[in-house]
Structure 1
């Protein structure tokens, strides 16, 4: 089920003006997505939030309507962008699909495989498109690394290692992010980014093992993956950094070379061939740190629109997003039991 061949190149939004768009959820990601939609050519019509004041603030900021109900928004648009908390994704996506709307939904897809399956079934039965916004695939350094891997630059991938960390969302006060039953914690909310990217690079996951530490203002996990390809993955995630700090990095080793990335490095993406192992330093890929104008949130929405108009498959399929959730849930199970979890093939009738 893994789509490992395509890269986010040649994105075009020509003709997007035919589509009207409504955003559900006026929090951080609702604002990020609304801002991106304004640059696509599509018509951003309005927003709905269960907190009317939050909806009004976003509406005022972007000069759009604040709808009094979800149904009122559905009645006015062609595309619904779900930017609500994770525990409400399934109900909003299913309702939008049943209303005949194409849907963009923030990551992670949902809290359970059963919910993921219900979202896919609703879209398929309604004949609408469903795109899960796994944005890391659209970050320049991650996309460039994937292109280099696909070109054979480092040979066959054998080891994937990544880290992603930031401060605990609960440090500023109570939030649904720190309620495990609503967000899935650091494993599902944060590490799903790197789980999805690791699958994009290495293919389907066969077995999952995880160790996790939960403490005051701390949620840390280390996941070990075995891929069907034979590759091994190590994914580290942390909500334990000082306030305002964020870092992400990866090392991807193949039998012909190594790719490394560190968000704190002035030369973020490096490539080294095996025969260069004795030399000092690395060869920097001709790529600068991501330009602020090179917005991955805009890129993913442009990609959605381009595929919507062309009929092409999304770079991240709904099954890819569901598979990332499956791995995250297996990691949480492993952390609780102390035992590895072997994954079963995904199906739309799956429970869990």
Structure 2
């Protein structure tokens, strides 16, 4: 491997172009090309960023050290496994794959070929989430979490329900904070005349082995863009905004009044404070790609492993099963 890590992006859609743009200015990286099954899309992206449009995955593999896989989720397993088995490091966008067997194939290929597999759950690189992780390092203090990820209809993703599209972000973040096994999942959906299947507004209640609960809501029919996570601990209440990259910490305590003439029941009152944390702003995709490069160089270990991504998927599959989006046989197939 040369001093510069040679990288290509597989997939020239909107998110693929975001990866290309960010790699182009990333230190320590040489962006060498792009591949897409649609030749015109690959050529247009290559011209935009002054790189090569590869004609095949084989040609990509001959010219790179690492790739970002930004294709449709049903292709992640085959595309990722192809590169991992050739000793090429992979950053694979979420979801990792579409079944547990596919996820295990990718995990196995990365281990057997001693290469990095990083899964693109980009919210883990939001500076507010990074700061929240530090605040909640003592996970025994967490009592409950509530996440809301809502917006109006979008043409960006239409082939999956809102749980797989949006809620999976919060599931993975919450699991990283709680660090306990999920023992139960319940789910409900909102059905409307226009959306009778209820796949665009879903709420899930997750219970963890250590007693923590998480209440998650994801929507594609809400006329406001909301991305928040609140945490109740035994010491404070923390409110985080993914969009604004902000955190507020609220604390209350009982303090004595210094007045001997007051009766005992009046000698204590609640004293509260709200702290607005300063969080240096950063671009999550740039942070994610920098982390990927550092993992390749052996400076860091993957923040979101294949195993982490699979655990998040298991929760989403259970949400889908509880709502009847998956039959029992389909659920078994995904978890087989």
For Structure 1 versus Structure 2, the TM-score category normalised by the shorter chain is: 0.7 to 0.9
CA 1:16–1:156 in 2, change beyond 3 Å: closer, same or farther? farther
Closer, same or farther in 2 for the Cα pair 1:71/1:213, shift >3 Å? farther
The answer to whether the 8 Å contact 2:3/2:28 transfers is yes
In structure 2, C-alpha distance between the alignment counterparts of 1:329 and 1:104, rounded to whole Å: 23
Q: What is residue 195 of structure 1 aligned with on the other side?
A: 171
Partner of 1:256: 235
Partner of 2:213: 232
Residue 35 in structure 1 maps to residue 21 in structure 2:
yes
Structure 1: any 5+ residue segments left out of the alignment?
1-14
Report the structure number with the largest CA radius of gyration: 2
Distance 1:17 1:240 in 2: 48
Partner of 1:148: 135
- Residues 258, 273 of structure 1: 8 Å contact kept: yes
Structure 2 matches for 1:319-334, cutoff 5 A? Answer: 319-334=307-322
Q: 1:162 matched to which residue of 2?
A: 147
Structure 1 residues 187 and 337, CA gap change in structure 2 (3 angstroms): closer
TM superposition score normalised by structure 2: 0.85
Which of 277, 282, 298 pairs up with 1:285?
Answer: 277
Q: Where do residues 81-92 of structure 1 align in structure 2 (5 Å cutoff)?
A: 81-92=68-79
Corresponding residue for residue 12 of structure 1 = none
* Partner-residue secondary structure (3-state), 1:167: coil
Q: 1:97 to 1:264 in 2, by over 3 A?
A: closer
Aligned ranges 1:30-179 → 2 under 5 Å: 30-38=16-24, 39-150=26-137, 152=138, 156-170=141-155, 177-179=157-159
Secondary structure, counterpart of 2:211 in structure 1: coil
Higher relative contact order (CA 8 A, sep 6+): 1
Note the C-alpha offset of 1:350. Answer: 8.2
How much has 1:268 moved relative to structure 2? Answer: 2.9
- 1:274 & 1:53 partners in 2: Cα distance? 60
Kindly report the root-mean-square deviation, in angstroms, between the aligned alpha carbons of the 2 structures. Answer: 2.7
| Runs of 5+ unmatched residues, structure 2 | 255-268
Which piece of structure 1 moves more, 75-84 or 269-278? 269-278
Q: Helix, strand or coil for the counterpart of 1:191?
A: helix
Partner of 2:262: none
Supply the distance in 2 between the matched residues of 1:211 and 1:187 (Cα, whole angstroms). Answer: 11
Of 169, 181, 184, the match for 1:207: 184
SS at match of 2:130: helix
Whole-angstrom CA distance in 2 between matches of 1:301 and 1:214 = 38
Q: Is the 8 A contact 1:117 1:350 kept in 2?
A: no
Separation in 1, partners of 2:19, 2:325: 38
Q: How many residues align?
A: 312
Q: Deviations over 1:167-224 (max 9, x none)?
A: 3234xxxx7x3223xxxx2111211110000001112312111112355366011011
CA distance in 2 between counterparts of 1:165 and 1:273 reads 27
Query: How far apart, in 2, do the equivalents of 1:251 and 1:231 lie?
Result: 13
Report the 3-state secondary structure (helix = DSSP H, G, I; strand = E; otherwise coil) of the residue aligned with 1:256.
coil
* Aligned equivalent of 1:6: none
Q: Does 1:273 align with 2:251?
A: yes
Q: Shift of the alpha carbon at 1:136?
A: 0.7
Residue 125 of structure 1, CA deviation: 2.3
- Give yes or no for contact 2:129–2:242 (8 Å, CA) kept in 1: no
